[in-house]
Amino acid sequence: MNELVNVHETLSSLTGADFVDCLYQLQNHIIANADPSALIDPPIKHYFAPNIYVREMYAPAGSVIIGEMHKTEHICTVISGRATIYSEHGKVEIKGGQTFVSPMGAKRLFVIEEDLVFQTVHHTKLTDLDEIRKELLVPDEEFQKFRLANSLEVNL
């Protein structure tokens, strides 16, 4: 439990590129050291309309999720539930009924307070999920290069 308190205090005190770098370090530490049975991908539903892809995630209360970095702005809608999000811009609580625009290059940590249903809406002509990932997501090993190329704050 003390480790979670330390993570909360550290993430709450960082902004900008310092936050993004720290979150990637945390993500790598978790992947390298966590019990593999404790690492789960939340259930996802996929919806398609012409030129639109909607990704809906369900996350149970008590979950902690580190989100992917996206190459483009996109719409996010909280269908139900409540979570605290840590990002390079600080900490914010989201709850059912909220919609917001996520900027490109955002990297976030979600602490799920109440069972959460969360959607992201993306413009794409693709329907193959692997191809959609390539089009929309920044590979972890390329995040600094992406942020630099898009004039987002970077620690060098």
pLDDT of residue 21 exceeding 80, the answer is yes
pLDDT in tens, 77-116: 999 999 999 988 889 999 999 999 999 999 999 999 999 9
- Model confidence, pTM: 0.83
pLDDT of 41 higher than 70: yes
Distances (CA, A) of 121 to 14, 20, 48: 28, 23, 10
CATH code, domain carrying 142: 2.60.120.10
**What is the predicted pLDDT for the residue at 27?**
85
Is residue 30 in some structural domain? yes
Q: Is residue 58 part of a domain?
A: yes
Residue 67's domain spans which residues?
Answer: 2-149
Strand partners, 86: 91, 109
DSSP secondary structure string, 36-86?
GGG--PPPEEEEEETTEEEEEEEE-TT-EEEPPPBSS-EEEEEEEEEEEEE
Specify the number of domains making up the chain: 1
154 part of a folded domain: no
Mean pLDDT, residues 54-58 taken together: 98
Q: Is 71 exposed, middle or buried (0-12, 13-18, 19+ CB in 10 A)?
A: middle
In a domain, 156, yes or no: no
- The per-residue pLDDT for 22 is 83
Would 41 be classed as within a structural domain? yes
Name the residue type at position 48.
Answer: F
Are 66 and 109 in contact by the 8 Å Cβ rule? The answer is yes
What is the Cα–Cα distance from 154 to 156, expressed in whole angstroms?
A: 6
Would 155 be classed as within a structural domain?
no
